[in-house]
Structure 1
């Protein structure tokens, strides 16, 4: 049997359906599911290390030539021979350049002839003096004539000495046309070649830098200097000065130890540091001027130092922070004061105790109050990248 609904009944059914839908919607909106239990984050942590620790100081240094000599000629002229190339290793007394010496040989010959002429004149004058002495003895001539001849002989003798000096100078000038290396070292690259004109005392022909031994120059802060000077009763301690190590730019250690040779007179106003030069033997010529290297030296020993991995430390706005595990296994951020870096570890001056557990892996996943699942590890279990 079919039932026919009127228009009014249809409208009523629609209204009822809408009201029912609104009621269900309000009920669903008021329903709140139970909150999820907090999830734990897995991290790795390690106990703070405590041990007696020698403090190693590291400074950035640069290799400097101990002697750097500019080669300049004492005489002028054109280069007629060049015996070395730029970059060659040279030795003290080794010929480097030769300057045209023709005019200087002529000067030697001229000076020699002038000297011989004056020597001949002196010999004649001296003979006259002897004759006049004999004549004065028998009253053959006046005493004044002898005195005049004696004065003339003295003047001629002075002329001989002056001419001898001129000859010596001419010979030295001729010898100086051969330019010798004043030191052992390495000669720089230069643009001078055969035919170039050299002005005496003005033209730099080359620079020879000594390289064995060589200097490594570095700077030390005022506080570092004071700490070390206090250990050495006013001076840098011998354990620091006489056993310097050198770490080259490729990370290898130079095989020979160095020692401090010069300390600047005071602290620089501009940098607040003091400049120091250390000498290193360089028999293999491995160290070249201009190279950069780290100078490492041992200072004092800190008794019972507290150490943590450098990877556990976050630096922000000149402050340092770590995250520790609380007694109820939650993360807690803490500001700490750091000291010297010891290999891959970092000495903590303030902010931790021997009982603290330091988060070393998973730092980016936690914040204050995060519940933790802690895996304790030993220092040798961490793959800590060298710094």
Structure 2
């Protein structure tokens, strides 16, 4: 009900003269009119009517630097040395002299083949040599006796020549028998099968009592030298060609060939390796070139055949910029864009060249200059030429004391 103090005196008299039913109707109409006038006079909330001003944005200042061209490529480990243990003679395995999976040293006996037939062959060769030596002594003596006799013609010249030839043949027979004896001794020594290299031996592929032969297809066991160990890295020929062109144009300089590994479980291998060489041919089936790196493997964590990822720097990109990834967006054409703070504190949109990432950064090679302030915070719905209030990235916001009415303001 409208207070009486708001009604003029003449209107008050007229209002009181009305019947009670008419006075009630007039009161309701007056209230509705007053409410409509209030709604029409202020349709916007008081808080939204205030001008918000320039938007706060966070920026970082970028400077050119030498950025390594870090490449991550797939690779597989391979043994530094690998050798099959094979028999060089035929016979029956008498004993196995190693523990499967153990470390063995070069020359260490691994198997023993039954030596009995080879011991007998060596003894026979020794006897044959002795017989040949005796025959040679007799032939030499005959030739020596004939020598003075031929001078006085007591024996014919033909008999003397035959005696000299027989002596020389006997000497040759001695040399032959000596070689056969040496061969028999070598075969006897081969009844003990040694380790050809030092390394870790695998499982035995034959058992005691098995018959083995010289030149058989199946190896007795395999030994791999795992410390150091090789990692064969596959790089596409196109990438390698692009890198060589970049180096030739002077856009980058060669880098050290240090390599780090990421293992199959995602963990980093804590030993740094070094690239040894790159093959001079391209694999026709895959279009890749193999680079070989060498790693120390004292704990034996790397085993032949493991899949790894190799990270290494093949060159250094000179004068590039590292820009946080939050600053870079892509347009409909796929071109990289970012906002910089203009001199008039307006957002300037730049198209840049950002060919790759490195960690949490984009590597920008063209489009920005030293000292540019790159906007990395507050870019949502930001438009080119929009007025902004730049502050260093991650600056804390100051909260003003609460005003009367329970509202708090922020100081920019």
Residue 228 of structure 1 contacts residue 237 of structure 1 at CA under 8 Å; is this kept in 2?
A: no
The answer for the alignment partner of 1:30 in structure 2 is none
The answer for the alignment partner of 1:73 in structure 2 is 87
Q: 1:50 to 1:270 in 2, by over 3 A?
A: farther
Structure 1 or 2, whichever has the larger Rg, is 2
CA RMSD between the two structures: 4.3
When normalised by structure 2's length, the TM-score is 0.67
Q: 1:374 to 1:93 in 2, by over 3 A?
A: farther
Q: 1:230 to 1:141 in 2, by over 3 A?
A: farther
Provide the aligned length of Structure 1 versus Structure 2: 337
| 1:148 positional shift | 0.8
Q: Pick from 254, 259, 265: which aligns with 2:274? A: 259
The answer for the alignment partner of 2:68 in structure 1 is 55
Deviation track 1:86-121 (CA, whole Å, cap 9, x = no partner) reads: 321111111111111111111111111111111111
Residue 336 of structure 2 contacts residue 354 of structure 2 at CA under 8 Å; is this kept in 1?
A: no
Task: Kindly indicate whether residue 364 of structure 2 is the aligned counterpart of residue 348 of structure 1.
Answer: yes
CA distance in structure 1 between the partners assigned to 2:351 and 2:206 by the alignment? 62
CA distance in structure 1 between the partners assigned to 2:263 and 2:171 by the alignment? 66
Residue 338 of structure 2 contacts residue 374 of structure 2 at CA under 8 Å; is this kept in 1?
A: no
| 1:204 positional shift | 0.8
Residue 48 of structure 1 contacts residue 307 of structure 1 at CA under 8 Å; is this kept in 2?
A: no
| 1:376 positional shift | 7.5
Q: Pick from 92, 101, 105: which aligns with 1:87? A: 101
The answer for the alignment partner of 1:272 in structure 2 is 287
Q: 1:291 to 1:135 in 2, by over 3 A?
A: same
Task: Kindly indicate whether residue 157 of structure 2 is the aligned counterpart of residue 143 of structure 1.
Answer: yes
Residue 46 of structure 1 contacts residue 360 of structure 1 at CA under 8 Å; is this kept in 2?
A: no
CA distance in structure 2 between the partners assigned to 1:182 and 1:379 by the alignment? 64
* 1:225-264 aligned within 5 A: 226-227=242-243, 231=247, 239-241=255-257, 243-249=258-264, 250-255=266-271, 257-264=272-279
CA distance in structure 2 between the partners assigned to 1:211 and 1:136 by the alignment? 73
| 1:259 positional shift | 2.6
Instruction: Pick 1 or 2: higher relative contact order, CA cutoff 8 A, min separation 6.
Output: 1
Residue 254 of structure 2 contacts residue 314 of structure 2 at CA under 8 Å; is this kept in 1?
A: no
Deviation track 1:301-323 (CA, whole Å, cap 9, x = no partner) reads: 33442334457778999957778
Gaps of 5+ in 1: 1-33, 382-387
Deviation track 1:217-247 (CA, whole Å, cap 9, x = no partner) reads: 112333345525864899x987423x33344
CA distance in structure 1 between the partners assigned to 2:186 and 2:307 by the alignment? 42
The answer for the alignment partner of 2:212 in structure 1 is 198
Task: Kindly indicate whether residue 120 of structure 2 is the aligned counterpart of residue 103 of structure 1.
Answer: no
When normalised by structure 1's length, the TM-score is 0.71
The answer for the alignment partner of 2:36 in structure 1 is none
Gaps of 5+ in 2: 1-42, 397-412
CA distance in structure 2 between the partners assigned to 1:166 and 1:96 by the alignment? 27
Range that drifts further, 161-170 or 320-329 = 320-329
CA distance in structure 1 between the partners assigned to 2:122 and 2:159 by the alignment? 37
Q: 1:81 to 1:272 in 2, by over 3 A?
A: same
Q: 1:270 to 1:134 in 2, by over 3 A?
A: same
Deviation track 1:113-157 (CA, whole Å, cap 9, x = no partner) reads: 111111111111111111111221221100110111111122222
